[in-house]
Structure formats: structure tokens, C-alpha cells
Amino acid sequence: MADKGGLEGVVVARSRLCSIDGQKGVLIYGGYDVNDLAEHSTYEEVCFLILRGNLPTAPELDAFTRELAESRALSEETAQVVDMLADHAEPMEMLRTAVSSDSFDDPDKNSNAEDANFRKATRLIAKMPTIVARYDRRRHGLEPIESDPSLPHAANFLRMLSGEEPGQSAAKTFDVALILHADHEMNASTFTARVIASTLSDMHSAITGAIGALKGPLHGGANEQVMKLLEAIGSEDAVDAEIRARLDRKERIMGFGHRVYKTYDPRAVILKRFSRMLAAESSEPYWFSMSEKIEQAVIAEKGLYPNVDFYSASTYHYLGIETGLFTPIFAMSRVVGWAAHVIEQHSDNRLIRPSSEYVGPPPRPYVPIEARGQDAAA
């Protein structure tokens, strides 16, 4: 068994989807560098690439974009679940529950065939933003906003959330953020999805489990913790002392470090540019400048680099998104990666069933209930 546990360095699947060079800070989806995709593509194109293995031709992109836009509306049942949860459930609890319940009336729910899985993947990618936006509006006592089929995926979500069509820079920033979160090799939530799929369970079950794994603060939940860190530090002047104090107390600085990257996470580099750009247009430039100072302090003190969650926090904040929605937004994007991994797992499946090393008591005689605890009492 590996000394440190955590399956570090263990290869659990062969995948055509995504690769990472953690020493060089390179991330590739289906052969394309994420920098090129962020610059030239849209989230819709990247979804097609991840699901189908190639960037779409213009007619393919038109058809896929239309299919996504037509799939955005929620069924009455899913809408009711979201409304019921709006007052009580936290955002990730709501998303986990709503996505699970969305299988009830899915016409393909009993099929793991590739075609059925593609249809379910497309519907989930389309519906998750509607779920998140509807929940957020309901919990603020506002009416949900219908999707606008003429708007791209990213801009439509921002409009469904705020009621206003976003400007060009907000729409581009959000689209890039979705691209950057779309897939990431064998991360914890993707592994969860693949384990569930390997039992020949269905797409919705795998995505529901993956949402549960993403929720944790060591994984996708870190982006919300980063915003809380920025708010707690409060000013640029307080950064150095606060970071040192936290590290002295052996606390983790959220948004730093990564199992695979030993240098800059390329997604953080791209998001930093967007955060800087939005800061320059904002009346609150300090969220960015504070972030940059934290980055310098953590590199100097600990040699740890920012991961994707670090600059996504200030970026989303500048877009006017509440902190509690940061991780659901991560899930809204990552659903395409999870779904593609489920399809890949189903296409060449063997049950994922590792082993554990037993370190419990050696075999011992059964003790009847009347006799239990006598050793302790003696």
C-alpha cells in the first residue's frame, strides 16, 4: 500500500479525455491546450469536444447548441423539488438533490446505452444552470426567469440569475470559467462518478455522487473558502501577517496546492487575467490586489501555487455572483467531464473494486451480549 494513501500516482483508467502535465502546468482536453480553447472556443464547443472527441464542425455546433438550448427547461417535478428546497437547503445540498430527482422523469433513465447516455449528458449540461438560477431566485423571493434560447450557455445563465443580459466582458469571462472547469483527469469527483458507473449504475446516480464529492473543501468547495479567506483578511496590508499566522497554526490556505500540479495550475493563470481585468472595471479592485498579494505570500512561505479555485473566487465575485453559488457553478461546468467519463467507463467497463489493508484486531471468538464489556469492567 502507498505510504501516504489517497491513491496518489495510481492509474485507475485509460482515458482519451484529458491529460495534465503537473510539472509543466499544462492541461489538455482531447489533444487541445486549454489556453487555446479558452482563447478561441466557447463552452458549447468544448462540451462537444469532451463528449464526442473532436471539435465540432459549424453544422455540428449549430445542432448541439440548439439541442442544449431546447433542453434547458426543467420538468414540473424537478422545478417543484428546487422550489421546495429553496428555503431550507444549502446550494450544494439542493443541487445534489435536484440532479438526483431529475432522473425520475428522464425518458432514458433505464438505459446505459451510449446514445441514451449522450442524451442524458446533454440534458444535464443544459438543465443544471436552470436549476441553480431557479433556486437562487426562489430563495431570494424572486420569480424564476425563463431561458433565452438565443443566448449562449454562459450568457443565458447569468441572465437567468440576475434578470439582466450580461455585457460582453462578463459573458466572455464566465464562458472561459466554464471552459476551464469542464474536465480535469482523475480528480476526486470524476473518480467517484467512474466508480458509480462501473457498477453499471446510471448517469444521474454517477453525477449525483460526483456532486457530493465536489462539495468538500479539499476539492470544489475550496472556491467558496477562498472568498471567505479574502473577506476575513480584509485588506492588502493584513495579508502577510495573516498568511504567516495561518501557516504557523498549520492551517491550509484554500485555493493553494494540488495533488498533480507542482507549479502554476494553468487555469489559475488564465483566471487571474480575467480577475485583473474585472478589477480594473470595478469599484472594488482590492479583491484582486489582495489575491495577488496572498499568492506572493503563499509561494514565498510555503512554495505552493494557486489552483483553479483561487482566482475563480474573485472572478465570480466581480461578476456579482454570491459566494454560496461558486461550487454549484463549478458543478454546472464539470458535469460535462463527469458525463464523458461515465460514457467512457460504460463503453469498456470493469467493476472498480480496489482492496484495503486490514489493520483491525486478529480473529477472535464471538462474545455473547451478556458477556460484553466484562474486560473493561474488570
- The residues that touch ligand ACO, with contacts defined as CB under 6 A, are 6, 187, 218-220, 222, 252-259, 302, 304, 307-309
Our answer to whether residue 219 is catalytic in this structure is yes
> What Å distances lie between residue 287 and 39, 180, 265, CA to CA?
24, 21, 20
Element (H, E) at 21: strand 18-21
What length is written for the chain?
Answer: 378
Question: Phi, psi (5° rounding) for residue 90?
Answer: -70, 160
Q: Which of 136, 202, 309, 346 is catalytic?
A: 309
* Edge-to-edge strands, sheet with 26-29: 18-21, 26-29, 32-33
Least CB distance from residue 111 to ligand ACO, whole Å? 31
> What Å distances lie between residue 284 and 270, 291, 293, 315, CA to CA?
20, 12, 15, 12
Residues pairing with 33 in the sheet: 28
Closer residue to ligand ACO, CB minimum distance, 127 or 181: 181
From CA 79, how far away is CA 42, in angstroms rounded? 28
Least CB distance from residue 155 to ligand ACO, whole Å? 24
Closer residue to ligand ACO, CB minimum distance, 95 or 253: 253
Least CB distance from residue 48 to ligand ACO, whole Å? 23
Of all residues in this chain, which one has the CB nearest to ligand ACO in the complex? 257
Cα-based angle 353, 356, 357 (whole degrees, multiple of 5): 155
Closer residue to ligand ACO, CB minimum distance, 122 or 307: 307
Q: Which of 153, 181, 184, 258 is catalytic?
A: 258
User: Taking a C-beta distance cutoff of 8 angstroms, is the pair 125, 58 a contact?
Assistant: no
C-alpha grid cell, residue 90: 444549502
Long-range Cβ contacts of 41-48 (<8 Å, 24+ apart): 41/179, 42/152, 42/153, 42/154, 42/175, 42/179, 43/152, 43/153, 43/154, 43/175, 43/178, 43/179, 43/182, 43/333, 44/68, 44/152, 44/153, 46/178, 46/179, 46/182, 46/336, 47/125, 47/182, 47/336
Cα-based angle 177, 73, 48 (whole degrees, multiple of 5): 45
Closer residue to ligand ACO, CB minimum distance, 69 or 132: 132
Least CB distance from residue 242 to ligand ACO, whole Å? 13
Least CB distance from residue 1 to ligand ACO, whole Å? 16
Closer residue to ligand ACO, CB minimum distance, 261 or 287: 261
Least CB distance from residue 307 to ligand ACO, whole Å? 4
Our answer to whether residue 309 is catalytic in this structure is yes
Closer residue to ligand ACO, CB minimum distance, 201 or 264: 264
Q: Which residues are catalytic?
A: 219, 258, 309
